[in-house]
A = this chain, B = another copy of it.
Amino acid sequence: MDFLTDGSITTPDGFLAGTAASGIKDASLDVALVYSQQPCQAAAVFTRNQVVAAPVIIDRQTLADNKNSIHAVTVNSGNANACTGAQGLENATRVQEATAAVLDCQADEVLVLSTGVIGVQMPMEKVIAGINQAAQNMSTESGPWAAEAIMTTDTRPKYAAVRIELADGPITIGGIAKGAGMIHPNMATLLGVHTTDADIEAELLQACLRTAVDQSYNRISVDGDTSTNDTILLMANGNSGVKVGDEQSITLFQEALNSLTRYLAQQVVRDGEGASKFVEITVAGAEDDLAAHTIANTIATSALVKTAFAGSDANWGRILAAAGRAGVPFDQYKTALWAGKKQSRELHLLDNGTPTRYQEADAAAIFAEPEFKILFELQQGDGTSTVWTSDLTHEYVSINADYRS
């Protein structure tokens, strides 16, 4: 597998991207188009929030009708088109129509993604002018710019691609993602657009995307909040002429997609709002994987755990306390806790529910690292789960206290 850190959604054959600074937000890029002349098979995972933005409602309907013939995706940042009522649905439809007009396809062959402020109607004149402008500068080099155009409080664009060799030839998968705030595991968190030139049916594509999301975007946490707009897309235009359908090709495709989405998801955590640390939390020995995941998530979203991380404080009691309120029964006198810089089993902190005779300085040294690992063991079974999280810093508060001002 070739992992291309400078690759993106325009690396797979037949995909173009264009961008514009339409004025929805300041002077920065805020509209991105992703286009394939060949119609695409399309798959998507959406937010599970009860309150969903207009684009999510429109995209669900569009994919229900037309998942075998998607030509384009229009993404805007700066305005989420969420909590905008009937007007918001009409505006999302107008984005489809404007995109279809300029790209010479049907409105129901266009998907729409939005991210930004909630509860404000979209400035449609600007948005439509931006779509027209972006269509003029589309190219096979513009994927990274599209990654920049979908940013909100992100500090850097997130993009990558992977290339694998199947029996019938090479295929490429590319992706862009944005995150920063409202990031929480077990949901289709954030916006991610992925493309591939593989030839693969929509149903299979959907299954592969679901599996990949469960191992990547659903295992990260910045702040425990789930957005109204979260959408992960994957489009396959078949341009490589290489079919993904037999067991071996599916396995290789899945591995490559997992690798790409995990990389992008981890980039989202590393660039989480105010994040100064990247912490891997593994729960092992739980009754099953779901139990392990529930505990790992609860630790990863605890404000007290994350502020301790921010302070480089090896206050591991908070990890135990968070684990204990996850709603999963376990015997505290059978638990163990480990921490490490490279490997999680470097320093044994807790054994059978009792603190070991570790040196505080050794623990402090690990928690002072910009990246480290935590392992919590239950001695209940074989269930295991790993999640990635950031710390909760002063900067997180600053960003979110002042977001709209």
Residues of A within 8 A of B (CB): 48-52, 80, 82-87, 117-121, 181-182, 184, 187, 223-228, 302-304, 307-308, 310-311, 313, 315-318, 320-326, 328-330, 332-333, 335, 350, 352-355, 392-394, 396-398, 400-405
Contact = CB atoms under 8 A, between A and B. Distances in A.
A307 B118 contact: no
A117 B86 CA distance: 52
Given A303-B224, A311-B400, A324 B52 contact: yes
Given A182-B321, A311-B400, 11 more contacts: A48-B325, A49-B325, A51-B335, A85-B352, A85-B353, A86-B354, A223-B303, A225-B325, A303-B303, A307-B401, A313-B402
Top 6 A-B residue pairs of the complex, sorted by shortest distance between their CB atoms: A118-B317, A311-B401, A85-B354, A51-B324, A307-B400, A50-B324
A401 B310 contact: yes
24 contacts: A50-B326, A51-B321, A51-B332, A51-B335, A82-B317, A82-B320, A82-B321, A83-B332, A85-B354, A118-B318, A119-B355, A223-B304, A225-B303, A225-B321, A226-B324, A226-B325, A228-B324, A303-B396, A307-B401, A311-B403, A311-B405, A313-B403, A313-B404, A394-B398
Given A352-B85, A397-B310, A50 B323 contact: yes
A332 B324 CA distance: 33
A402 B228 CA distance: 34
Contacts of A83: 317, 320, 332, 350, 353-355
Contacts of A313: 401-405
Contacts of A321: 49, 51, 82, 118, 182, 225-228
Nearest to A326: B50
Given A80-B317, A321-B227, A324-B51, A181 B329 contact: no
Most buried by B among A49, A52, A326, A401: A401
B308 A401 contact: yes
Contacts of A354: 83-87
A330 B49 CA distance: 10
Contacts of A330: 50
A228 to B, nearest CB: 5
Contacts of A320: 51, 82-83, 118-119, 228
A186 B339 CA distance: 31
A188 to B, nearest CB: 12
B120 A84 contact: no
A285 B330 CA distance: 37
Contacts of A402: 311, 313
A213 to B, nearest CB: 17
A255 to B, nearest CB: 31
Residue among A48, A225, A394, A402 facing the most chain B CB atoms (10 A cut-off): A225
Nearest to A318: B118
A302 B225 CA distance: 7
A56 to B, nearest CB: 11
